Amino acid sequence: MRVARCLEVWKMGTINYLESIKLQKKLVSDRKTNKISDTLLSLQHPLTYTLGKRRTDHNMLIPMSQLKKIGAELHYTQRGGDITFHGPHQAILYPIISLREIGLGARNYVEKLELTMIELASLYGVKACAGQKGETGVWVGERKIGAIGVQISNGITSHGLAFNIDPDLNYFKHIVPCGIADKGVTSLRKETGLEKCKSQRWEGQGSFKGLQWLC
């Protein structure tokens, strides 16, 4: 008989990227010592570019001096993955969970995050799928709709996924998204044309339907 687990969900609205990093570090530390249960952060970021620990600066296509002019920030992180963009109308989920307690390895965890976004897309009639070998994230044809970048420390996860509801896709033109030059990006709004994708208050509620594996 499976025992139900406790998952605390924090719906945070829009939060500065550096503030989210500080919070995640604190939560990871607390989770390691069992001061807290598994926690899911549901949020959005202001206009932000982030680079993974491989430091692929060459995939940033505009000079650093131009970032302020377009209203964006750039931050280096310790997550996996390449460069990506975060902004308004993008659903971001950061699970702070113990993989050991749910019996998942790193690869299986990433696959679960992909499945979460695939199921979210399906709620709107969009057929998405996981990437080919070496391409993490979720795709609609040759267009990426959801990115994944995680960090795992002593079995505790941080960072997570970013799913494009209706962000301004023009900001992706300033980077080589996820280091993949020959494919594009898309959003739920672009694939469906549904106005509700933009007007709906997004706090990650739709994606919770795909997170039963956490509970």
Residue positions forming the annotated binding site: 79-86, 147-149, 160-162
Return the number of other C-beta atoms located less than 10 Å from residue 115's C-beta.
15
Contact 36, 27 (CB under 8 A): yes
197 is catalytic: no
The Cα 40–Cα 93 span in angstroms is 7
* DSSP calls for 13-63: EE--HHHHHHHHHHHHHHHHTTSS-EEEEEEE-SSEEEE-TT--GGGB-S-
Residue positions forming the annotated binding site for substrate: 79-86, 147-149, 160-162
Integer angstrom CA distances of residue 207 from 38, 47, 88, 162, 204: 17, 22, 17, 11, 5
Residue 171's region, left for phi above 0, alpha for psi from -120 to 50, else beta, is: alpha
6, 129, 178, 215: the catalytic one is 178
Return the number of other C-beta atoms located less than 10 Å from residue 138's C-beta.
26
Which ranges of the chain would DSSP assign to H, the alpha helix? 17-32, 99-102, 106-123, 188-192, 196-199
Residues known to be catalytic = 178
